Amino acid sequence: MPEVQSYLTGVRYPCDRAELLRAATAEGAGDQVIGRLGTLPEREYDCYDTVHRELEAK
């Protein structure tokens, strides 16, 4: 599994799920990464650690 964080380096937090998806797509993330990010709850994320915790809980 490609490391999700490498596709989110340009994200400015706080941001929502849609922004995470836009940023990852712009960085060339594949379907597997986009799919994982798409499973995140629709809410605001304050930092990558929060995103990572949500992804690990799935």
Judged against a pLDDT cut of 50, whether residue 36 lies above it is answered with yes
Tens of pLDDT, residue by residue over 3-30, are 999 999 999 999 999 999 999 999 999 9
Report the alpha-carbon distance of residue 4 to residue 25 in Å, rounded: 11
Total-model pTM: 0.92
Is 46 within 8 Å of 14 (Cβ atoms)? yes
Calpha distance 30→13 (Å, rounded): 22
Tell me how many domains the chain contains.
1
